[in-house]
Amino acid sequence: MIVRPVTPAETAELRRAVLRGGRPVLLPGDDEPAFHVGGYDGEVLVGTGNVRREPAPWAPEQPAWRLRGMATAPAARGCGVGAQLLAALLAHCREHGGGLLWCHARTPAQRFYERAGLQTRGQPWEDPEIGPHVIMWREL
């Protein structure tokens, strides 16, 4: 797999399919500056994720990055695609000042994030459209 920077538009279809049940919704934050990566198996996009500078809600003074839009195509899951993309995003954040990395993690993905060194903070909550989430974070 090749991991490379991409535009939000290049990955929107995959993110809608994986994260929004295929609904033709606007993807939150796509109009804001962010660093998006795509994982390509040949010409086929198999995974994506992005980071942007955004303070963590509990530490507004601290430099921080918010992780969003982690999505691997169903057929490519469990093969390390997500881990490679997340590693590339962590490297980008470190090269651009580091700080905290945080996200609203879907609870089924919690173990995936824990393996990358993130820990939970606070109690899980239910997003009525998307399901259970919990805040996760790590120092970069």
Name the site residues for ligand COA (rule: CB under 6 A).
18-19, 47, 70-72, 77-83, 105-106, 108-109, 111-112, 115
Dihedral of alpha carbons 7, 50, 61, 32, sign: positive
Q: How far is the CB of 138 from ligand COA (least distance, A)?
A: 14
With CB atoms as reference, the residue minimizing the distance to ligand COA is 82
- For residues 106 and 133, the answer to whether their CB atoms sit within 8 Å is yes
Question: From the CB of 49, what's the least distance to ligand COA, in Å?
Answer: 7
Name which of 93, 82, 121, 113 is nearest 3 in CA terms.
82
Using alpha carbons, select from 109, 105, 110 the residue that is nearest to residue 125. Answer: 105
How far, rounded to the nearest angstrom, does the alpha carbon of residue 61 sit from its chain's CA centroid? 22
**Closer residue to ligand COA (CB): 93 or 105:** 105
CB of 126 to ligand COA, least distance (A): 14
Tokens found for residue 42: 């040949």
- C-alpha span between 59 and 66 (Å, rounded): 12
Residue number with CB closer to ligand COA (67 or 99): 67
Closest CB to ligand COA among 66 and 99? 66
C-alpha span between 15 and 116 (Å, rounded) = 21
Nearest approach, Cβ of residue 61 and ligand COA (Å): 25
| Nearest to ligand COA of 18, 100 (CB atom) | 18
- Which residue number, 18 or 99, has a Cβ lying nearer to ligand COA? 18
